[in-house]
Amino acid sequence: MTGFLRFIIIIFLLCIPVKTFGQNTNNAVEPEFIIEAKRLLPGETITIDGKLDEPLWQRMTPIRNFRQQYPVEGAEPTEQTEIYVAYDDNYLYIGAVFFDSNPSGIIAYQKRRNQGIGTDDRFMWILDTFNSGRNAYFFEINPAGLKGDGLISVGQGVSVSKSWDGIWFAEVHRDSHGWSAEIKIPFRTLDFDPNQSGWGINFQRTVRRKNEEILWAGWRRNQGVFRPQNSGLLTGFRGMNQGIGLEVKPYVTATPTRRWLNGSATNSFDYDAGFDISYSVTPGVRTSLTVNTDFAEAEVDQRRVNLTRFPLVFPEQRDFFLEGSSVFNFAPASGITPFFSRRIGLVGGESVPIHFGARAIGRTSTANFGFYQIRTGNDTFDTEDFTVVRYSHNIFEESSIGVIYTRRATLGNDFFPVRHTMGYDLELNTSRFLGDKNLQFQAFFVWHNPDNALDESAFWDRTSRGIRLSFPNYPFFGHLSYREIGEAFNPAVGIATRVGFRRLQPTIGYTRVLEENTTIRSVSFELSHTYLTDIDFKPESVSTTLRPINIFFESGEQVWVNITRNYERLMFPFDILRDDSIIIPAGDYYSWALNMNVSSAGFRRVVAAFSYTYEGFWTGTRNGYSTSLTLRPYPGINLSGSWSRSVVDLAEGDFTTDLLRFQSNLDLTTTYSFTNITQYDTVSELLGFYNRIRWILTPGSDLFLVYTWNWLREEDRFRPLETQGSVKLSYTYRF
């Protein structure tokens, strides 16, 4: 195919989505999904105790027009729900009554802040304060009073960043009629335009023992509470007060440490202090400054055994980078990461001090932007300056176009130039394709300059680019993506686990919900294909996966099976255990794989899951076993353990790997929690204990006590490596 013909085909494909997504359709909200918030009378107050017994609630007309999303789309809920919305100068109030014909069947196992509550009865709601249909605040509670929150961003798929911890208040009450809740959200917790005529809002209730999902607006299966474009409208606001927008959060830490080296132990004791200051320059733009940043409260990474040729990527755990991180999302469904925050302040898993950092997060009805300026370094690592800028602008009704820029400057090191990365992404989305279907198109392009003084790579070798078309609907769904990653692509503040390839990946599937079946909730089928070549179009990795069985039972249990045909071209010998003991020779490898998974319903007191894989593995075979067990003997107590084993039989030798993990969460109340994580794997032979106590003094103010202990297994015994304790106290002052 000539270059000119390829160009014409690409332009033709791009013109179709632009025309489709650019349609100027009517986005008006139906009257039944418009709420007018009731303003409190002068001198009127609400006591947040979960009991809706104040006169305000009695004189209001509640929202009752909920519909099922599951199991029967559009049906009347089996349990009645009532929602009230009110406000005064400083707070937004939500009152909710959840009637239940069997109050003893209400499930509420979780009590730890931001713990996932998919196991429980729950109430979720979103606030799209700029009514953009693309971003929203997310909140949830359960009948035990647990609070969770996060930030929603919409593109190809939905991202919910639960790292955002807003300051708000909620109490619940249970009685013979079911349960109820009163919620108070300070306006100064939210970014919004006071002149905005209305906010997007939506509500969802889960009756867990029935696996029943009930929504107010957007109750169709290809919609939902996580899609702000399908929400209702909240109106009636006037005279809200956000204060002067200043928030100060000082903190102090103390860290005793003992390390063992060459049979002798050394002790050290560090203490420090720092602070975060946030200021709302405008109602939609919040700036932050952090000085002497400490991450003592960050949870330990989950251990994994890597038998692949490519490095593992661990998620960010540090609050400073997690808060507002959704703004920095770039072409999120395309697998490209020009900005990865763990490249800042972490080198080889070792922490590098962050001396100071500035951050700005902005959201308006037409745009989102984010900014970081951070300096790191110590006696071991070079001082470095990092800059990250992200901007996206809304176009059409549900689409956006954006740019990201990163800069990394290593001071006093001539080998590394100032490294720049620039990326562009386009999101074209509509929820009205063929009337009521979702259709999404995504395109991106990323470039960076030479990585070091010896880098002589060409321009296109330092770029990545791709497109993706997605059809996420019921009963049919699917997507088609194509991407290219240059051979020298290595963004200085990003990550690329594999480079030098072109990849085409189509996926199609079908889901049928059996509304009249009392045993099976849904069955689905999926077929996906990956065709990955090198830059010269020579195949390197080719796989076809069929999921012929995926059954979700009415009781909550699930069973699914995958069958995969693989081809892998290994260009160079591969040290699979990274210790020179077993080397896989270069060559072409063909194989089949079978994967079977069974899991019980997540809301039970005893939850179990099992997975088995049998596959051709390089010159031999691999049997993979994975099992997990969770016990919930009492609300607030969650004990879980998992074990993964790979039994590998190769022409070059046999080996077995094991990974064990145990986690206990003891949450006595919704403000006091204890976490223990114990991990061990037979590849690194490291045994680690992690213990953390968190006491939420008030929303936004915390006391953390963290204790870790690590051992290395040597000749049938464990030798201590390091033990460390940390105490961190932080307190938030608002003005």
Report pLDDT digits (tens) over 586-608: 999 999 999 999 999 988 999 99
Q: Are residues 492 and 420 part of one domain?
A: yes
In this structure, of 9-18, 669-678, 706-715, the range with the lowest mean pLDDT score is: 9-18
Residue 52 domain-assigned (yes or no): yes
pLDDT band at 643 (very low <50, low <70, confident <90, very high): very high
Task: State the residue range of the domain holding 219.
Answer: 37-235
Residue 670 domain-assigned (yes or no): no
Average of per-residue pLDDT across 467-490: 95
Average of per-residue pLDDT across 134-153: 92
Residues 6+ apart with CB under 8 A from 587: 569, 570
Average of per-residue pLDDT across 216-232: 93
Domain count, the chain: 2
DSSP state of 337: B
Which pLDDT belongs to residue 15? 47
Neighbours of 719 (CB within 10 A): 11
Q: Is 72's pLDDT higher than 60?
A: yes
Residue 515 domain-assigned (yes or no): no
Q: Are residues 45 and 15 part of one domain?
A: no
- For the chain, give the longest Cα–Cα distance: 82
Average of per-residue pLDDT across 191-199: 86
Q: Is 695's pLDDT higher than 90?
A: yes
**Could you say which of 190, 207, 235 is where a domain stops?**
235
Residues 6+ apart with CB under 8 A from 186: 90, 91, 167, 168
pLDDT band at 20 (very low <50, low <70, confident <90, very high): low
Report the percentage of the chain scoring pLDDT > 90: 71
Which pLDDT belongs to residue 5? 39
Which pLDDT belongs to residue 101? 96
Structure token pair of residue 687: 């045994």
Q: What dihedral do alpha carbons 293, 299, 305, 311 form, nearest 10°?
A: -30
Q: Are residues 222 and 364 part of one domain?
A: no
Q: Are 122 and 205 in contact (CB under 8 A)?
A: yes
| Measured distance CA(250)–CA(338) in Å, rounded | 32
Residue 353 domain-assigned (yes or no): yes
Domain with residue 88: its CATH number is 2.60.40.1190
Residue 258 domain-assigned (yes or no): no
Q: Are residues 86 and 8 part of one domain?
A: no
514-523 pLDDT tens trace: 988 989 999 9
Q: Is 319's pLDDT higher than 80?
A: no
* 728 bridge partner residues: 253, 704
324-342 pLDDT tens trace: 788 898 998 888 999 999 8
**Could you say which of 192, 207, 235 is where a domain stops?**
235
pLDDT band at 3 (very low <50, low <70, confident <90, very high): very low
Average of per-residue pLDDT across 169-174: 96
Q: Are residues 41 and 18 part of one domain?
A: no
Q: Which of 268-272, 366-370, 465-469 has the highest mean pLDDT?
A: 465-469
Which pLDDT belongs to residue 21? 59
Q: Are 218 and 204 in contact (CB under 8 A)?
A: no
Residue 372 domain-assigned (yes or no): yes
Q: Are residues 42 and 18 part of one domain?
A: no
The alpha-helical segments, DSSP class H, found in 301-355 are 319-322
| Measured distance CA(151)–CA(226) in Å, rounded | 10
Structure token pair of residue 462: 């330092």
DSSP state of 10: H
Q: Is 266's pLDDT higher than 90?
A: yes
Which pLDDT belongs to residue 25? 39
* 677 bridge partner residues: 663, 690
Which pLDDT belongs to residue 577? 93
Average of per-residue pLDDT across 97-113: 94
CA angle 200/202/204 to nearest 5° reads 165
Residue 641 domain-assigned (yes or no): no
| Measured distance CA(628)–CA(644) in Å, rounded | 9
| Measured distance CA(40)–CA(46) in Å, rounded | 9
Q: Are residues 8 and 95 part of one domain?
A: no
Q: Is 532's pLDDT higher than 70?
A: yes
**Could you say which of 450, 471, 499 is where a domain stops?**
499
| Measured distance CA(146)–CA(121) in Å, rounded | 11
Q: Is 17's pLDDT higher than 80?
A: no
SS3 479: strand
Taking alpha carbons only, the member of 373, 467, 378, 370 closest to residue 428 is 467
| Measured distance CA(465)–CA(447) in Å, rounded | 9
Q: Is 193's pLDDT higher than 70?
A: yes
Q: Are residues 203 and 58 part of one domain?
A: yes
Which pLDDT belongs to residue 22? 55
In this structure, of 228-232, 258-262, 314-318, 615-619, the range with the lowest mean pLDDT score is: 314-318
Q: Is 23's pLDDT higher than 70?
A: no
Which pLDDT belongs to residue 27? 53
pLDDT band at 552 (very low <50, low <70, confident <90, very high): very high
Average of per-residue pLDDT across 308-315: 83
Q: Are residues 495 and 402 part of one domain?
A: yes
Structure token pair of residue 131: 């009514």
With tokens 């889901």, the residue in question is 511
Q: Are residues 453 and 405 part of one domain?
A: yes
Which pLDDT belongs to residue 369? 93
Strand pairing category for 81-87 and 38-39:
parallel
| Measured distance CA(553)–CA(521) in Å, rounded | 5
CA atoms within 13 A on the CB side of 391: 6
Residue 376 domain-assigned (yes or no): yes
CA angle 78/82/84 to nearest 5° reads 160
Q: Is 158's pLDDT higher than 80?
A: no
Between 507 and 164, the higher pLDDT residue: 507
Neighbours of 6 (CB within 10 A): 10
Report the percentage of the chain scoring pLDDT > 70: 96
Q: Are residues 230 and 91 part of one domain?
A: yes
Q: Are residues 142 and 119 part of one domain?
A: yes
Q: Is 24's pLDDT higher than 70?
A: no
